[in-house]
C-alpha cells in the first residue's frame, strides 16, 4: 500500500501555477516533504515558502522538465534531502491553439517536449527509486483531450493522448509490482491560467468552454490518488459524456463537438500570433484563472457560441 501522506515525500512538477500550485499547497498541509519545480525561480520560491508555512519541509528547483538531466538532478536532490520519494506528480504542461499549419514547428515541438517528454523524464527519474524501495505512486496528468479530438489544438491533444497511452504502457510493465502504481488524471477544462498562458495562432483571444472545474477539485483528487491510487481518474460529467460519444459514435461526435469547440473557444477580441508561455515562462503564477468568478460573462458567451456550433454541426450533411 502507498505510504500515508504524513510519512510521504512528494515531487510536483509545474508547481508554480494552476493545478500544480493548488496541489502543492494542499499536499503541504499533510506531506512530510515536498520537492517542487517549475521554470520561474521567483514564483516557485514564493510557493515553497507558502508550503513551508503550511507545515511541509520543502525544496525547490527552477528547471524545464524537457531537460532530462535537470529532472534527474531534482530527484537526486529530493532523495539526498528527504531519503526517499514516495509520490511523483507529473503535472507540468503548456498549450498552443491554432490551425496546424499556422502553429510554428518550434512551438508544436515544445508542447510535446513539455507535456509528454516531461512526463517521460519524470517517470525515468521516479521509477528506479520506486523499484529500489519497493513502493511508489506515479501520477500523470492527462486530460479529457487524452481520449477525444478537437480541431486547432493539435499539439496539446497529441501530447495528452501520448500521456494516457504512456501511462497504460507503464501500468502493464509494472503489473507484477504490487506496491508501485501508475495513475492517470484526466480532467475536462479546469479554472487555471493555462488559457491565457497558451500559445495563440487563431487571430482571436481564446477561452475555455464551460463547465469549467474548480482547480481545488482536481488538486484534491491528486491528494486522494497519492494515498489510494486509481488506474485512471476522470473529472467532469461533460468530459465523460464526450469520451463515450467519441468512442461510440465518432462521426456524430465530430459533427457535434468540432464546430462547438471552434465557436466556443474563440472570443470576439483580436489577438496577434504569439507563443504565450510555451517557449518561456511568464505570469500570472496563480492557481485559479478566474473563469468561475470574474470571467463568468465570458464563459456564458462561450457556452452560447458552443451550443450554436453544435446545432450548426448537426445541420451539416454527414461526411
Strand partners, 181: 137
| Placement of cell 463537438 in the chain | 257
The residues, any chain, with a CB within 8 Å of residue 260's CB and separated by 6 or more, are 209, 306, 307, 309, 310, 313
Residue among 27, 36, 24 at smallest CA distance from 63? 36
Helix residue spans in 174-236 (DSSP H): 194-197, 215-227
Give me the catalytic one of 97, 156, 201, 253.
Answer: 156
Is this model's pTM higher than 0.85 or not?
yes
Measured between alpha carbons, how far is residue 55 from residues 29, 51, 222 in Å?
6, 7, 18
> What's the pLDDT tens digit per position in 250-299?
888 888 888 888 888 988 899 999 999 999 998 889 999 998 987 777 75
Per DSSP, 209 falls in state: P
| Placement of cell 490518488 in the chain | 225
Rounded CA-CA distance 169/317 in Å is: 39
Cβ 97 vs Cβ 135: under 8 Å: no
Rounded CA-CA distance 126/143 in Å is: 22
Model pLDDT, residue 28: 98
Q: Is the pLDDT of residue 247 over 50?
A: yes
Cβ 295 vs Cβ 302: under 8 Å: no
Q: Among this protein's residues, is 253 annotated catalytic?
A: no
> What's the pLDDT tens digit per position in 51-98?
999 999 999 999 999 999 999 999 999 999 999 999 999 999 999 999
> Band of the pLDDT at 304, cuts 50, 70, 90?
low
Per DSSP, 117 falls in state: I
What burial letters (b/e) apply to 143-171, b meaning 16+ CB within 10 Å?
A: bbbbbbbbebbbbbbbbbbbbbebbeebb
Domains and CATH numbers, the chain: 5-315 (3.40.50.720)
Rounded CA-CA distance 186/169 in Å is: 16
Mean pLDDT, the chain, whole residue set:
92
Rounded CA-CA distance 25/47 in Å is: 8
Model pLDDT, residue 310: 61
Amino acid at each position: 500500500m502507498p505510504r500515508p501522506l504524513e510519512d510521504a515525500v512528494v515531487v510536483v512538477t509545474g508547481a508554480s501555477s494552476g493545478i500544480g500550485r493548488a496541489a502543492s499547497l494542499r499536499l503541504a498541509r499533510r506531506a512530510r516533504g515536498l520537492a517542487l519545480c517549475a521554470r520561474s525561480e521567483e514564483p516557485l520560491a514564493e510557493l515553497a515558502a507558502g508550503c513551508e508555512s503550511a507545515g511541509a519541509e520543502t525544496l525547490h528547483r527552477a528547471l524545464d522538465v524537457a531537460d532530462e538531466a535537470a529532472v534527474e538532478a531534482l530527484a537526486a536532490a529530493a532523495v539526498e534531502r528527504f531519503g526517499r520519494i514516495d509520490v511523483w506528480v507529473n503535472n507540468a504542461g503548456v498549450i498552443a491553439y491554432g490551425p496546424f499549419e499556422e502553429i510554428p514547428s518550434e512551438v508544436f515541438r515544445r508542447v510535446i517536449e513539455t507535456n509528454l517528454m516531461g512526463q517521460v523524464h519524470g517517470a525515468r527519474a521516479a521509477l528506479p527509486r520506486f523499484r529500489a524501495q519497493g513502493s511508489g505512486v506515479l501520477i500523470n496528468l492527462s486530460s479529457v483531450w487524452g481520449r477525444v479530438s478537437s480541431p486547432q489544438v493539435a499539439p496539446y491533444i497529441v501530447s495528452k493522448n501520448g500521456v494516457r497511452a504512456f501511462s497504460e504502457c507503464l501500468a502493464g510493465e509494472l503489473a507484477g509490482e504490487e506496491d508501485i502504481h501508475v495513475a492517470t488524471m484526466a480532467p475536462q477544462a479546469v479554472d487555471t491560467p493555462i488559457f491565457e498562458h497558451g500559445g495563440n495562432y487563431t487571430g482571436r483571444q481564446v477561452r475555455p468552454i464551460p463547465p469549467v472545474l474548480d482547480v481545488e477539485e482536481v488538486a484534491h483528487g491528486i491528494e486522494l490518488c497519492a494515498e489510494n491510487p486509481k488506474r485512471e481518474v476522470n473529472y467532469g460529467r461533460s468530459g465523460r459524456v464526450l469520451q463515450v460519444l467519441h468512442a461510440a459514435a465518432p462521426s456524430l461526435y465530430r459533427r457535434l463537438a468540432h464546430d462547438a469547440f471552434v465557436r466556443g473557444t474563440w472570443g470576439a477580441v483580436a489577438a496577434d500570433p504569439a507563443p504565450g508561455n510555451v517557449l518561456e515562462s511568464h505570469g500570472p503564477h496563480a492557481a485559479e484563472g478566474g473563469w468561475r468568478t470574474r470571467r463568468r460573462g465570458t464563459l456564458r458567451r462561450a457556452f452560447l457560441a458552443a451550443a450554436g456550433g453544435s446545432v450548426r454541426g448537426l445541420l451539416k450533411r454527414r461526411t
